[in-house]
Structure 1
């Protein structure tokens, strides 16, 4: 399969059996969890037989059906991914009931079928990956790939905050910094992979952090616990993909090296889940 800067083939054709839920998620719009539910509900057939065992494995040559719909195996599945430098004041959604501007208003119709990898809230900015592949989306969202952020908070980063960054933090109530409608209360924060305090003053501080989770408003909740409001939050990198000099509000395809790394990551994820 020919490779260019816009497209990649995620994996070579395999004759090894794979889990049925993975086969469905790789070749449809269903996630693995959704595929498991379909199997449990008796809606999935393999070679004409209803399957109820979630551990069932299939080959590319097997006939898989959901209801009466065939799940077609794509031998050379192509993935497109882009980087968008999201500005503040845009919603990461297809549409917004409140009529606020969404990222797709800026990206345009040709990317309307793309899926955002995770979220950046309305007041946050920076690197947002989008892809047309459900497989890539699921793998990236649930990965432990590094995320790099630049943050400004309205106070001093104390030793207590540093200890929590170094050792992790468990909160029964992590509602400070959360969206007002969020139902998530308890939260566990892993130790940060790295951090660099670039300014530390009583009026405001700047810090660069590296984490490998993507929980709901994780950083706003973390600093909120210590009475620090996040004034600015910008994501600079995700899984080795960087903004570099991409202007705010603009998008680009991944570079050839970034696509190569993505393909390697997806292939590794593919093997580890067999």
Structure 2
């Protein structure tokens, strides 16, 4: 064991990695949650309780959580979930609101959300059992485009929306390039397709409201190569292993193989999550296009276009 803080895991040997990272790769929890477990003195290495996450280890089997040995990593799995409006993307909510884990069906492995969607936002939410992969997919450096269908009250000016490609500062926060294009109009409302890479907290709503357009519906239809497709609210579909291997290059990973085999979660692990199918396309470097809105089976993305005829001026 080493107390070096090299996050690349290069301390005391090429195989040494941070304890929190190894816990996440074993599917126990996310990296950040693993660091909290360490701070709570619940993690030990060789029976020595850790007091800091700045520790690297060369063998995951030396790690215990609440006295239990770290489980072997499960095969990496990703699920597509159509998050309904009105549920929180968290495990527990102090306000007692319904969470995604109450909506997800039984029988799934313990899953973690890749990024979040606000309470009133809906659409595609990726779920994975791999904490390290979760962190990787959330980073802006991954370069994956998040695409949304946004209904706003008003009549956005196309030239004004085009300026968002240069980025914009709202209340002191700088947002990167955003591609926003008017799609259709229905009475006092307008549907706008928005594509971005950062996906910061409430980014779409804040930017639109800064321009003077109040968002009354927000639907995420794509996250990188994965599409919402024709999935209904609450529906879950697993991404096939072959698609994961093609899109994420996980087949070459010596630590975690792509597959669908199930493994028992360790004691004190989170609630489980659910399965879903993949969505076509290559790691999202192309903005929205109707031809790209097809799932791996070639199904037309019906959900990408919410019913614009439903008026709503609230």
Residue 77 (str. 1) matches residue 74 (str. 2):
yes
Residue 207 (str. 1) matches residue 192 (str. 2):
yes
* TM superposition shift of 1:89: 2.7
Distance 1:83 1:49 in 2: 39
Q: Where does residue 9 of structure 2 map in the other structure?
A: none
Q: Where does residue 107 of structure 1 map in the other structure?
A: 104
* TM superposition shift of 1:213: 1.7
RMSD: 3.7
Distance 2:29 2:101 in 1: 22
Residue 191 (str. 1) matches residue 177 (str. 2):
yes
Distance 1:95 1:37 in 2: 16
TM-score normalised by L of structure 2: 0.61
Q: Where does residue 239 of structure 2 map in the other structure?
A: 254
* Count of matched residue pairs: 238
Distance 1:117 1:32 in 2: 13
SS of 1:109 mapped into structure 2: coil
Distance 1:236 1:103 in 2: 18
Gaps of 5+ in 2: 1-12, 256-314
Q: Where does residue 222 of structure 1 map in the other structure?
A: 207
SS of 1:260 mapped into structure 2: helix
SS of 2:162 mapped into structure 1: helix
Distance 2:162 2:177 in 1: 10
Contact 1:149–1:234 (8 Å) recurs in 2: yes
Residue 134 (str. 1) matches residue 131 (str. 2):
yes
Contact 1:60–1:73 (8 Å) recurs in 2: no
Distance 1:86 1:167, change over 3 A: same
SS of 1:89 mapped into structure 2: coil
Distance 1:56 1:83, change over 3 A: same
Residue 90 of structure 2, aligned match among 89, 93, 96: 93
Q: Where does residue 261 of structure 2 map in the other structure?
A: none
* TM superposition shift of 1:226: 1.3
Q: Where does residue 18 of structure 2 map in the other structure?
A: 20
Contact 1:24–1:71 (8 Å) recurs in 2: no
SS of 2:133 mapped into structure 1: helix
TM-score normalised by L of structure 1: 0.68
* TM superposition shift of 1:147: 0.9
Gaps of 5+ in 1: 1-14, 173-185
* TM superposition shift of 1:162: 2.4
Distance 1:257 1:69, change over 3 A: same
* TM superposition shift of 1:215: 1.4
